[in-house]
Structure 1
Amino acid sequence: MKQVQAINLMRRFIDDQCTAEEVTKLIALMAFEKHREEYGRLIDEAIAGEKVEPVAIPDEVVRQRFRHLEERLGLRDRRRWREKALWRYYLAAAAIAGIILAVAWGAYHFSAFSARHYATGFGEIRKIDLPDGSVVTLNGNSTIDYLPMAGAERARTVELRGEAFFRVRKTSDHRKFRVVMPGAGAIEVLGTEFTVRHRPNGSRVVLRSGSIRLTTAGESLSGVVMKPGELIDITPGASVAGRKKVDPSAYDQWTTGKLVFENTPLREIVNMLRDTYGLDVVIDPQLLDKRLSGTAPARDPDTLLEALSGSFGLRIDRKQNKVFITAN
């Protein structure tokens, strides 16, 4: 069974939507360590999302639930399964009873109150469900470190390197959500949607909905509240390079697998090819101010290179990760 199918099956099981046949398949999957680890991660997400405290269940209660599970599956007489793989039923029995268990290895390694690290490779787009219910979509060559309760305010804090789209969930205790851009500044919010790009060549924040407070490491834009549809660029030195009204959808379409360019300078596109896709681009400096409007697939940089060649009449040669762009 493919990993994606296995994860979907586990999610259905946690939501108590599996048939007896599907539960049998899940039990077989638990023979493999990678599936046990994945199940632990999903259980941890369920604990965080439902605010259910881990509970300890006596051994005798577990045995009773094993027997109940066996009866439901028609496995009562299969002694070999119970004797040689009793641990495989542990999570299954508890989930069928509607109880979320925190086994020792899961509680230790996947605690809802521990820090998390997420990363993407070049050209990879990854959607991440944070334990607090917020959703982050990471663009290629990006990382976030999540601290669920950081500082005296017990704020939910994410440290970003790269580019990400945030859909922040409000919490019942109104804890703040903070995005830290090391060396550039920080964003504070209670619940909203926005895009942040924090790369070596500069940072950018685009607000889609709600409101956020942006504080830069420089002194020119300290604690300014952004409004929906606003874009702010920050230089590598943490000073403000520009603030303007934009269509925010043009800046987060990469989350759907599409790149959108609206009079975008070639200089910015070259930076994206380097930062997001890991391409080593060599270009004639006189071409950097040319501007492009159009769309391209986010997961296929070669299509984008073809579009650049056709739009500007450029010669583009690619040798593995090395790209040479010159005028014809």
Structure 2
Amino acid sequence: MISRSTLLAQAREWQVLLHSGRATAADREAAAAWRQAAPEHEAAVREVESLWALLGQVGERAADLEPDSQVVPLTRRSRRLRWAVPLATAASLALAAWLPQGLWVGLYADIHTAPGEVREVRLDDGSVLTLNGDTALDWSPHGDRREVRLYRGEADFQVAPDAGKPFFVEAGAARIRVTGTRFDVNLGDDKVLLAVTHGQVQAASASQPAVAVNAEQQVQWLAGQREAVQPLDARQRLAWQRGKLVFRSRALSDVFAELQRSQRARVVFLDQATRDLRVTGVFALDDPQAVMAAIEHNLPVRLVRLPGVVLVTSRDADPWLPTNGKK
């Protein structure tokens, strides 16, 4: 039996797709069919529609409170204006928590994992994939080629050798071609990291020709462009395969990007300075709370925990934020 949380997540993804402006007639028919498939689906859709409407009302109320260009005395109305920004921010944070992390991609991906789930998958060609948490991909064997499209997350590929059927991976801007080897692909918001542990792969992009990346080497694509091949620091880059998180002077924004694969809470930064703070340490992959406790103890930041959201801000943040007992 499908859990209520899973049904709500699926209903949210349909709702986002139907309001995205990208839904086709087939998408709308599929959404209607899903809704009618069971009473539990109908109940989930109704709950999601109610929250969607509520979020819209909160946003409208915040907009109504925005001050105009005139200077006004500190009346009851002007005191209400002090809450316009917090209310608008609260609406956007609620929406950030409510939207599924991969939007509707989870509906279509052949293989996916939940946050915190690490899973091994054996493909029908004999290749073995190990997926990190919150990962989604498609597997398409056809004709004289084998193809994987990585939508989000990270996967370790142990590709079964077959010179007659090369193996292709598409991840963001990255285009990777192999015949049989082992490598790791990590797809983030604006970059892709490729780490090769055995054999050799060909790494290209839509605008750049392929270059060879050998064992113990890595390369990244940043903002769509492939950078120079570098030596691989496997102990840090592939620590997740050993159940660890290893950070060496990593930006706090990168650290939380890794943590979001181990927990369901979304992370929202409220100022740029905190994003750029540096973190060094070794932590257990399955204990993101320990990482956050260490961050709060050692860095000048506050972590404000709300349902489904963690706010990251400096310790002298705006006083409207709850303190969770911290100063």
- Name which of 220, 224, 229 aligns with 2:211: 224
Matched residues in 1 for 2:161 and 2:174: separation?
22
Tell me the CA shift for residue 286 of structure 1.
0.7
2:152 matched to 1:132?
A: no
Higher CA-based Rg: 1
The 1:316/1:196 distance shift into structure 2, 3 A limit, reads same
Q: Any idea what the Cα deviations from partners look like across 1:63-85, whole Å, max 9, x if unmatched? A: xxxxxxxxxxxxxxxxxxxxxxx
The answer as to 2:270 corresponding to 1:280 is: no
Q: Does 1:293 align with 2:293?
A: no
1:205 aligns with 2:191: no
What amino acid is the match of 1:170?
A: P
Q: 1:247 corresponds to which residue?
A: 233
1:61 maps to what in 2?
A: none
8 Å CA contact 2:116–2:261 kept in 1: the answer is: no
Q: Distance in 2 between matches of 1:232 and 1:195?
A: 11
Q: Which residue of 2 aligns with 1:167?
A: 158
TM-score (norm 2): 0.57
Which sections of structure 2, spanning at least 5 residues, go unmatched? 1-108, 316-327
Deviations 1:167-207 (A, max 9, x none): 11213x542111112x4131111222111012332211111
Are the counterparts in 1 of residues 262 and 286 from structure 2 also a CA contact under 8 Å? no
Task: Give CA deviations for 1:49-108 in whole Å, capped at 9, x if unaligned.
Answer: xxxxxxxxxxxxxxxxxxxxxxxxxxxxxxxxxxxxxxxxxxxxxxxxxxxxxxxxxxxx
**How is 1:39-188 mapped onto 2 (pairs within 5 angstroms)?**
117-150=110-143, 154-162=144-152, 163-171=154-162, 174-181=164-171, 183-188=172-177
What's the offset of the Cα at 1:258? 1.5
Residues 149, 169 of structure 2: 8 Å contact kept: yes
Equivalent residue of 1:267, what SS?
helix
Q: TM-score, normalised by structure 1?
A: 0.57
Asked whether the 8 Å contact 1:234–1:242 carries over to 2, the reply is: no
Amino acid in structure 2 at the alignment position of 1:253: A
Give the distance between the partners of 2:298 and 2:199, measured in 1 at CA.
37
Please give the alpha-carbon distance, in whole angstroms, between the structure 1 residues aligned to 2:164 and 2:262: 34
Where 2:220 maps in the other structure, the secondary structure is: strand
Which letter does structure 1 place at the counterpart of 2:298? S
Q: Give % identity.
A: 28
- Give the number of aligned pairs: 206
The residue matched to 2:238 in structure 1 has which SS? helix
- SS of residue paired to 2:292: helix
Is contact 1:186-1:214 (8 Å) kept?
Answer: yes
Aligned-residue CA RMSD (Å): 2.3
The separation in 2 between residues aligned to 1:145 and 1:305, in whole angstroms, is 32
Contact kept? 1:127, 1:137, Cα under 8 Å = yes
Structure 1, unaligned runs of 5 or more = 1-115
